[in-house]
């Protein structure tokens, strides 16, 4: 069965075609980075309007590119939440209208479930169960993924998400939005050992995180070095970026190790935008080979928001008849552990 995936929860418009027997046919993503750049962050109303402009032409051209038409579709999966209400409603409306007109299956997907399942699009893929570190712009969570649809929250951030900390610190350093990739790039030319930034909650015997203090530590540092980041030299900023990245990566790596030990699971999955961070990947890989567990990442372009992961989650739910009641709706706030199991 051919499934159309639609992602519109924030500032990326994504469409994908997934064949339940043979896997992902293709996907495209339009990033709104240029649209929001001058505001230094996502403007929700602009995001919704851009999704409206892009979605149908993107669906048409993806179908055309793969020699398909809407009549070949057997189901549609869209991101139902969590996310920006207006942005979600665009995907929900298009998906619902198309599914109704074509009399095909419709499934609303939890955005974080899509991220959690995205490593299944890699080869080799993990088997259930596994521990997942979900590190996106809005979430930092450690989950025990016992089976598809069966998720237990092991720990999460008490304040800022890791991606949010990257973005806010990047802004402090005068880097353009979105800050995560820009800060990671600047860190490459920095000396991580020059400034020792705090490792929040590293020594606490739990699986929770706290990152908001880090950006305050960076602010204090820039004030000590000059009168804020504008006064710091390029090398100072690169050294701060490297020190900041190292602090976050240290905490994430050590909490992942702790989660593997407490659950006695042997596989770790890293999902979400911050999972694209190369320093995080190399530190996690080193920890895994030392401790003897396996790590899985989604393909790097599927770490950030995309519809391929939404189509995959939809295909799994449709295949097992676990689509739940799916009225035309968007769920800006939605608890992951309230989902019905898939298998």
Write out the H or E segment, with its range, that includes residue 251: helix 234-263
- Choose the stretch contacting ligand KG4; rule: CB under 6 A; options: 14-22, 44-52, 190-198, 266-274: 266-274
Q: Nearest CA to 196 among 182, 184, 214, 223?
A: 214
Q: Of 16, 47, 274, 315, which lies in the binding site for ligand KG4, with binding defined by CB under 6 A? A: 274
Show the tokens assigned to 87.
């942005």
306 interacts with Zn ion by CB under 5 A: no
SS3 of 175, please? coil
Q: Of 7, 50, 160, 167, which lies in the binding site for ligand KG4, with binding defined by CB under 6 A? A: 167
Q: Of the two residues 116 and 318, which places its CB atom closer to ligand KG4 in the complex?
A: 116
Binding mask 172-201 for ligand KG4 (x = CB under 6 A): ------xxxx--x-----------------
Question: Residue 230 phi/psi, 5° resolution?
Answer: -60, -25
Give, to the nearest 10 degrees, the angle between helix 234-263 and helix 162-172: 170
Q: Scanning residues 81 to 140, which ones bind Zn ion (CB under 5 A)?
A: 136
Q: Nearest CA to 78 among 104, 47, 49?
A: 104
Q: Of 305, 312, 326, 330, which lies in the binding site for Zn ion, with binding defined by CB under 5 A? A: 305
| Residue 162 CA: distances (Å) to CA of 17, 58, 138, 258, 303 | 30, 31, 8, 18, 14
- Choose the stretch contacting ligand KG4; rule: CB under 6 A; options: 84-92, 161-169, 261-269, 314-322: 161-169
299: left (phi over 0), alpha (psi -120 to 50) or beta: beta
| Residue 189 C-beta: closest distance to Zn ion, Å | 28
SS3 of 328, please? coil
User: Of Zn ion, ligand KG4, none, which one sits near residue 82, judging by CB under 5 to 8 A according to partner kind?
Assistant: none
SS3 of 59, please? helix
214 interacts with ligand KG4 by CB under 6 A: no
Torsion angle (degrees, nearest 10) of CA 270, 275, 276, 282: -70
User: Of ligand KG4, Zn ion, none, which one sits near residue 277, judging by CB under 5 to 8 A according to partner kind?
Assistant: ligand KG4
Q: Of 121, 276, 310, 336, which lies in the binding site for ligand KG4, with binding defined by CB under 6 A? A: 276
126 interacts with ligand KG4 by CB under 6 A: no
SS3 of 116, please? helix
What is the binding site for Zn ion (CB under 5 A)?
A: 136, 305
Q: Under the rule (CB under 6 A), what is the footprint of ligand KG4?
A: 10, 136-138, 163, 166-167, 178-181, 184, 272-274, 276-277, 304-305
């Amino acid at each position: 069965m051919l499934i159309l995936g639609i992602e519109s929860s924030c500032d990326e418009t994504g469409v994908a075609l997934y064949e339940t027997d043979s896997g992902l046919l293709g996907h495209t993503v339009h990033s709104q980075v240029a649209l929001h750049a001058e505001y230094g962050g996502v403007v929700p109303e602009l995001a919704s309007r851009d999704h409206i402009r892009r979605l149908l032409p993107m669906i048409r051209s993806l179908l055309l590119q793969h020699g398909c038409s809407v009549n070949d579709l057997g189901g549609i999966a869209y991101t139902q939440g969590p996310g920006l209400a207006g942005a979600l409603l665009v995907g929900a409306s298009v998906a619902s209208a198309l599914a109704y007109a074509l009399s095909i299956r419709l499934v609303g997907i939890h955005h974080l479930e899509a991220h959690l399942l995205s490593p299944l699009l890699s080869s080799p893929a993990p088997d259930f169960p596994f521990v997942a570190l979900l590190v996106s712009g809005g979430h930092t969570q450690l989950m025990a993924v016992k089976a598809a649809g069966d998720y237990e929250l092991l720990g999460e951030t008490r304040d800022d998400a890791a991606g949010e900390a990257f973005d806010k610190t990047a802004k402090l350093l005068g880097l353009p939005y979105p800050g995560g990739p820009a800060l990671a790039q600047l860190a490459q030319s920095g000396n991580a050992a020059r400034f020792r930034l705090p490792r929040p909650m590293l020594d606490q015997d739990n699986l929770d995180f706290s990152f908001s203090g880090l950006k305050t530590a960076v602010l204090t540092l820039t004030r000590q070095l000059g009168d804020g980041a504008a006064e710091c030299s390029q090398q100072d900023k690169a050294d701060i970026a490297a020190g900041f990245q190292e602090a976050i990566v240290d905490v994430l790596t050590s909490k992942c190790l702790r989660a593997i030990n407490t659950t006695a699971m042997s596989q770790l999955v890293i999902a979400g935008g911050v999972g694209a961070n190369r320093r995080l990947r190399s530190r996690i890989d080193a920890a895994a080979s030392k401790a003897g567990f396996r790590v899985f990442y989604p393909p790097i372009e599927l770490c950030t928001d995309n519809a391929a992961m939404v189509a995959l989650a939809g295909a799994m739910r449709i295949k097992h008849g676990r689509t739940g009641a799916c009225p035309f709706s968007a769920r800006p706030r939605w608890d992951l552990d309230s989902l019905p199991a898939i298998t």
